């Protein structure tokens, strides 16, 4: 069971020195990185999941980290973000200026889908092209179900894509996988920000399932199961 950020402060930060709080900051960032690596490993999900899950622990550790930064400010100290943190912050700040997203996922032997979201003012348009003559899905809580621009952008913020690697490969974990599933994500902006690219081959960011859900994409075996019901 996870505790609240204020309880974390009372138990771990209150009365501590500046260096002790900075050490707690570093520890929280290491733990978030470790949890991401666990979830991005090719074998993740093949064993019984712990409770709370890694995803929940990441969410709470983010809140603890923000409380730890606040603790520094409260004692008159400053916090200097890393280059990676600055990059992630810039991505979050530019989300309101996204004008187009193209998301592709598929493999030679499976369903291939290209999803495009275009944003013009308060208008948002979603197009999906699926191969092998399967109908596009409009899952509840997905862009295809009529989600508003504000809700869509909020959902993107919760993905923290500014923290993603530009490319994901199984070789990072010592695995070599041929064929399988490839994916790519292209994000264009209206304010002159450089286009963002992400891609992967049989490897994914820790919260990739949330991205797929946002675009109304399910795994082939999940769709087959639903069709059989």
| Long-range contacts of 88-91, Cβ-Cβ distance < 8 Å, separation of 24 or more | 88/160, 88/162, 88/163, 89/162, 90/162, 91/161, 91/162, 91/196
Question: Within its chain, how far is the Cα of 124 from the centroid?
Answer: 21
Q: What's the confidence (pLDDT) of residue 196?
A: 98
CB-facing half-sphere around the CA of 35: CA atoms within 13 A = 20
Q: What's the confidence (pLDDT) of residue 110?
A: 67
Cα torsion at 55, 61, 66, 70 (round to 10°)?
160
Burial of 208 (0-12, 13-18, 19+ CB in 10 A): buried
Phi-psi region at 112: left, alpha or beta (left = phi > 0; alpha = psi -120 to 50): beta
Q: What's the confidence (pLDDT) of residue 141?
A: 55
**pLDDT means over runs of 10, the chain (229 residues):** 94 97 98 97 86 96 98 96 96 98 85 91 89 51 76 96 97 87 97 97 96 83 41
Q: 3-state class of 216 per DSSP?
A: coil
Q: What's the confidence (pLDDT) of residue 49?
A: 76
Q: What's the confidence (pLDDT) of residue 50?
A: 81
Q: What's the confidence (pLDDT) of residue 177?
A: 81
Domain spans in the chain, listed from the N-terminal domain onward: 5-80, 97-228
- pTM for this prediction: 0.87
The answer to whether 28 touches 68, Cβ cutoff 8 Å, is: yes
């Amino acid at each position: 069971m996870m505790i609240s950020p204020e309880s974390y402060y009372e138990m771990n930060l209150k009365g501590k020195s500046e260096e002790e709080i900075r050490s707690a900051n570093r520890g929280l960032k290491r733990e978030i990185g470790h949890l991401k690596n666990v979830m991005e490993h090719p074998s993740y999900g093949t064993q019984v999941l712990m409770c709370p899950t890694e995803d929940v622990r990441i969410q709470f550790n983010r809140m603890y980290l923000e409380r730890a930064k606040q603790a520094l400010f409260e004692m008159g100290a400053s916090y200097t973000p890393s280059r990676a943190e600055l990059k992630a912050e810039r991505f979050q700040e530019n989300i309101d200026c996204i004008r187009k997203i193209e998301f592709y996922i598929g493999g030679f032997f499976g369903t291939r889908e290209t999803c495009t979201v275009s944003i013009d003012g308060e208008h948002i348009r979603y197009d999906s092209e699926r191969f092998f003559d399967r109908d596009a899905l409009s899952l509840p809580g997905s862009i295809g179900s009529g989600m508003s621009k504000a809700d869509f952008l909020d959902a993107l913020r919760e993905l923290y894509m500014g923290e993603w690697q530009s490319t994901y490969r199984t070789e990072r974990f010592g695995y070599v996988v041929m064929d399988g599933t490839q994916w790519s994500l292209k994000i264009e902006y209206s304010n002159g920000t450089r286009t963002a690219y992400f891609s992967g081959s049989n490897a994914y960011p820790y919260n990739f399932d949330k991205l797929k859900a946002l675009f109304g994409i399910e795994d082939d075996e999940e769709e087959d199961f639903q069709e059989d019901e």
